[in-house]
Structure formats: structure tokens, C-alpha cells
Structure 1
Amino acid sequence: MRTCGILGGMGPEATIDLMRRIVAHTRAQDDADHVHCLVDNNPQVPSRIKVLLEGGTVSPGPCMAAMGRGLEAQGADFLCIACNTAHNWRDEVARAVNIPVLDMIALAAAEAARRAPKARAGSLASPAVRLTGLYEAPCRGQGLEPVFADEAEEARLLGVIRAIKAGRTGDDVRADLKRVVENVLNKGAGVLIAACTELGVIGVEAPVPVVDAADALAAAIVLEGAGPDALKRPGA
């Protein structure tokens, strides 16, 4: 068993959702079969959206790097970041520690390519993900063509994300998400990537394969922490 250190709190509900996914992906007969996780559920990480979209000047990088160092000092053998947008500072975390940092973006792109080779990959994420090109190179490297929602629908999706962070997951929020999904599907998406960990809290429904980045990360954590025999495949 190897210990996973999770940089969380971005947001807290998404971090809890990732933990549920890790448990769900684990083939276990008893407590000791699960991956040992150290979680820094820190909601005080400076806002990623504020820096990338609103002209904020306080980078989350130093805080995330300090979280990584703390988790390593507590015994983590590898790290992960439970937030897509925060992967803009993944390299800063990696430079601050002497242990591997899993790449949720690359993992999600690889899973999307496995599920729908050579497809157009619709990214469901905050505008910051598109503007920073976070998924562009990983998707194209896997033979996928990234597509995004129209500007108005992307703004609607940011509203969905903010609603989930505020604990609102009712029918109106789900209806808004459905509208965004339809917009991306109309652009020819043959696979969807839920590229915001908040979306996993309510789930994404579509007539094409849906890859939740948090789910791809959870599976990788089980593989890294407990080995291939511990990974429960879908439907198993």
C-alpha cells in the first residue's frame, strides 16, 4: 500500500465526492484493503477563478505548494489535486515536493480517447479551463478534437458550478446543466469530459460517453495506491 495525499477543498463537496469515488473503485473485503489517503481539505486556497478570470493577484500556487509539502511530510507517497482548474498550478506543486503528482487532466483525456477514439471531445468546465487551454494539448495528444460550449452557455455552466459550491443542486441547476450539454452535443461532441469536479456531485447525463475527470483520477489513485488487483472495474 502507498499513501495518497489529496490537495482538496477546491471545493469541499468535490473533495468528498472524490473520496467516495476512490472507495467505489476499490475491490475490498475489509477496511485494510482501501487506499490510505491523507486529505488537506483546505477551502482557503485563493480563488482560481478570481485569478484567471477576474484580475485577482493572489495566486493559489504557493498555498497549494505548501499543502503538497505538508502532505509529503506526513507520509504521502504521491499527490493529487482534486480540482481541474487548479491544475494550472500543478507544476508549481510538483516542483515543491519529491514525490509524484498525478495529472487528472491527462488521465481524463486518455480515458475519453479510450471510450471514443478520434472523437470530438466536449469539455464541460469553467471558462478558465478553456481560456488557459488546460485540456487542449492533452486531448489533441490523444487524437481528440476539443470543443466547448458557446460563450453564453459557458457562463451558464459557471453559474451551475457556483450553485453546486453553494450547496444548490435542485431541478433548476440540473436544467441549466442539461442546456449546456445540449449545446456541446450540437457541436458534434462524441464524448463529454466533465472537467470540473463540482459536476460530479450531480452527474452529467448524455447519449454519448461521459468521462468524469474525478472518476479517472479516483481509478488512478487506486492503481497507484493499491495496485491493479485492487481496482474494481465498472460493473464489477
Structure 2
Amino acid sequence: MENFFSILGGMGTQATESFVRLLNHRTVTHKDQDYLNYVLFNHATVPDRTAYILDSTAENPLPFLLDDIAKQNLLKPNFIVLTCNTAHYFFETLQAATEIPILHMPREAAIEMSRRQKGGKVAFLGTEGSVKAGVYQRELEKVGFEVMLPESKLQQKVNDLIYRDIKENDFLNKELYYEILAEAIEECGCASAVLGCTELSLMEEFATDNPYNVVDAQSILVDRTIERALADRKKS
């Protein structure tokens, strides 16, 4: 197979399915051959990224991710898409392990936010691991935003939505999702929020009547992936 990219997913699997579904849906096609060429690594058994970031005595996911990168080096895709937000904590180490470019989801989301909104205060919503890692905060501050990180009570609601409702019970809790957005945006005086967790992206995919301004990092990554893949196809 020529002109293909690889998707390093499975963290979690439903969120990866959402990414692939959006990818295929947004690709303009008129026949089978118009779809994009890609290989999916659905590595569901990678240890929890947040657990390790919060407690370094927990099982380290990095060796698992590096093994995935080594396998992708053998396949030689044009580029790699890392669909887990929290795994970007390891981005520099992963990129150093390959000459194949890895798309940086938080950076792409911050760039897109700067196109939609010129500075001001934005809320960041993600796992506790992503909050502690600070990757989104750094990328958003680089392009001129003041970043609001959730207080403990709001973060617990985010945790409940991600882990209890979606990961554990396959429940898209729209009521809690809107409650979180209302608190993050309205009560904290933000103009918009960045969704920095693929479970939140899954939530956003099905919350078609969302009245709040959000930048969904996974959705932006889908668009950048399509753009990059089509550009590579034109070069061939």
C-alpha cells in the first residue's frame, strides 16, 4: 500500500472509533478509491496514561507506545496520528523515536482556536493527566490565550463523564456534559472551551444541539489528517 498514514489509537477504543467514523464521513468521496489509505493500531491494552502521570509508580505506558512506534517504523507510513490527548505527554519522546512526523493534536487545536477567537480566556477540559501535563495550557498560551483549568469539583464532573459514564458504562451523559460546559464557560467567564479528551470529543459528536462554543481537538485532528493525506496523494 502506498501513500498511507497510521493511526495510533485504542486509548480508548470508542473514541478511536469516533475518530475513524468522522475521518471517513468527512472525506469527500464518489467511489471506494476516494477514501484514504490508513492502518489502525487499536492498542487498547496500553496502561492508563492519567494514572501514570498522576503517580509515577503506576505502570508506565511509554514502553507500549514506543513499541507501537517501532512497529510503525517498519511499515513506513507518511505520517502518524496519535488520537489520545493525554498520550501527548510523551510526544517528544515518541517523535524522537521516529523520523516519521507525528501530528500534534493539542498544537493543532490551539492554532484553530486562535483562528476562531483572538485572545481572551478559554477553558480547558480533559483528563486530570492532561491537566497536570500542561501540554494544552502551553500550546494555548503560546498563541495568546489565558487558560482556565477546572477547579476540583468541576474536574470531578469531567472525570465522572469520561470514566464512569463513557468508559465504564457506554453512556453518553448529555445532561452532565452541558452542565460541565455551562460551569466552565458561563460561570468562569470564558468565551469558549477546548475539548482535550477523546471521550469529550465523542460526547460532542452526538450533542448536536450544543449551544456552547467549543473547539474539539479530535475534530480538528480529523481535518488536519484529511488535509495532509490528500496533499500526499496529490504529490504521487
Do the two structures share a fold, i.e. TM-score over 0.5? yes
CA, structure 1 residues 34+167, in 2 after alignment: closer, same or farther (shift >3 Å)? farther
Which letter does structure 2 place at the counterpart of 1:166? E
Q: 1:198 aligns to what SS in structure 2? A: helix
Write out per-residue CA displacement over residues 102-159 of structure 1, whole angstroms, 9 at most, x where no aligned residue.
0000001111111112131211111222212111111011111111222111011111
1:166 Cα deviation after fit? 2.1
| RMSD after superposition | 2.0
SS in structure 1 opposite 2:148? strand
| Contact persistence 1:5–1:79 (CA under 8 A) | yes
In structure 2, the CA distance between the partners of 1:211 and 1:62, relative to structure 1 (3 Å rule), is: same
Aligned to 2:39: 38
In structure 2, what is the Cα distance between the partners aligned to 1:85 and 1:213? Answer: 12
Q: Say yes or no: does 1:222 pair with 2:220.
A: no
* Equivalent residue number for residue 107 of structure 1: 108
Check conservation: 2:51, 2:129, Cα contact below 8 A: no
Distance (Å, rounded) in 1 between the aligned partners of 2:137 and 2:8: 23
Q: What does 1:156-195 align with in structure 2 at a 5 Å threshold?
A: 156-162=157-163, 163-170=165-172, 173-185=173-185, 186-195=187-196
Q: What's the CA shift for 1:188?
A: 1.5
Q: Percent identity?
A: 24
Q: TM-score, normalization: structure 2?
A: 0.89
Q: After superposition, give the CA deviation of every residue in 1:7-30 in whole Å (9 maximum; x if it has no partner).
A: 111000011111112112212212
* Residue 49 (str. 1) matches residue 50 (str. 2): yes
5+ residue gaps in structure 1? 231-236
Report the 3-state secondary structure (helix = DSSP H, G, I; strand = E; otherwise coil) of the residue aligned with 2:135. coil
Matches within 5 A, 1:132-171: 132-162=133-163, 163-170=165-172
TM-score, length of structure 1 as denominator length: 0.89
Q: Which has the higher helix share?
A: 2
* 3-state DSSP of counterpart to 1:220: helix
Residues 155-184 of structure 1: per-residue CA shift (max 9 Å, x gap)? 1111110121124325xx322222211111
List, as ranges, runs of 4+ consecutive aligned residues in structure 1 with deviation greater than 3 Å: 54-57, 204-208
Cα deviation for residue 206 of structure 1 reads: 4.8
How far 1:208 sits from its partner (Å)? 4.0
Asked if 1 retains the 8 angstrom alpha-carbon contact of 2:177 and 2:203, the reply is no
> Matched residues in 1 for 2:10 and 2:137: separation?
25
Q: Quote how far apart the aligned CAs of 1:229 are.
A: 10
Distance 1:131 1:73 in 2: 33
Partner of 1:233: none
State the AA in 2 paired with 1:221. T
* 1-structure distance, mates of 2:121, 2:193: 9
